[in-house]
Chain A
Amino acid sequence: GESVGLHLPTLSVQEGDNSIINCAYSNSASDYFIWYKQESGKGPQFIIDIRSNMDKRQGQRVTVLLNKTVKHLSLQIAATQPGDSAVYFCADAGGGKLIFGQGTELSVKP
């Protein structure tokens, strides 16, 4: 079946550094992906999305890269801040479904 997986369960970075969170997916037909941020006690919050006709999309301090050849996407956070500490999920949102990976917990050290 379809699956979405993150490479590392935890990531610790220094405040001000850039963070990179990686995700692999299995369904080569997937055409829409979303990155979510989940803080403790809250529901997932939309960060940025990307469709398969693009390989890069930028938001405010965040960039998502999509490599369809190797079925891999990444979330880059520039100048990571303490408020970025959370669990990050990539989700396969193609075909009307919304399938989540296991998540990467990002910790930001002051």
Chain B
Amino acid sequence: EAGVAQSPRYKIIEKRQSVAFWCNPISGHATLYWYQQILGQGPKLLIQFQNNGVVDDSQLPKDRFSAERLKGVDSTLKIQPAKLEDSAVYLCASTFGLGTEAFFGQGTRLTVV
């Protein structure tokens, strides 16, 4: 069974530029999460989808971050414009349903200079 796929693995951009991350969850997984993990900290939830609907985006900085999951499968997370403090690893996870084990991708390491 293929795992959660994320791309790119690494990205370096200048502040005020825009960037997008892509996630392909495990086939059949209805719930998809995006997390931000700053070095030395635990993952912080940005947004949670159930199929193509948003369940929780309370911690998403909506002035600069956006995410979509149009067909209930793949998802993209965008930052525009990026700030230095956005430097982090962005993790995508998926689960078959609520209250079940979540599987994580390798993450995208973003460096904003």
Q: Which of the candidate stretches A12-20, A57-65, A73-81, A91-99 sits at the interface with the other chain? A: A91-99
User: Which residues of chain A are near B96, meaning CB under 8 Å?
Assistant: none
Indicate whether A93 sits within 8 Å of B45 (C-beta atoms), given known contacts A43-B91, A98-B93: no
Indicate whether A100 sits within 8 Å of B42 (C-beta atoms), given known contacts A43-B91, A43-B107: yes
Q: Which of the candidate stretches B66-74, B80-88, B97-105 sits at the interface with the other chain? A: B97-105
Q: Which residues 36-53 in A have Cβ within 8 Å of B in the complex?
A: 36, 41-46, 49
User: Which residues of chain A are near B48, meaning CB under 8 Å?
Assistant: 96-98
Indicate whether A89 sits within 8 Å of B42 (C-beta atoms), given known contacts A45-B104, A98-B33, A98-B93: yes
- What is the minimal beta-carbon distance from B47 to any residue of chain A, in angstroms? 12
Pick from A43, A49, A89, A101: contact of B101, CB under 8 Å: A49
User: Which residues of chain A are near B104, meaning CB under 8 Å?
Assistant: 36, 43-45
- What is the minimal beta-carbon distance from B24 to any residue of chain A, in angstroms? 14
**CA gap between A52 and B85 in the complex, in Å:** 37
> A-B pairs with CB below 8 Å: how many?
55
Interface size on B, residues (CB 8 A): 25
Indicate whether A101 sits within 8 Å of B42 (C-beta atoms), given known contacts A43-B104, A43-B105, A43-B107: yes
Q: Find out whether the CB atom of A46 lies under 8 angstroms from the CB atom of B101.
A: yes
**CA gap between A23 and B15 in the complex, in Å:** 37
**CA gap between A101 and B104 in the complex, in Å:** 16
Indicate whether A102 sits within 8 Å of B102 (C-beta atoms), given known contacts A44-B91, A96-B31: no
A-B contact pairs, 8 of them (CB 8 A): A43-B4, A46-B101, A97-B48, A97-B56, A98-B48, A100-B42, A100-B44, A103-B42
Interface residues, chain A, with chain B CB atoms under 8 Å away: 32, 34, 36, 41-46, 49, 89, 93-103
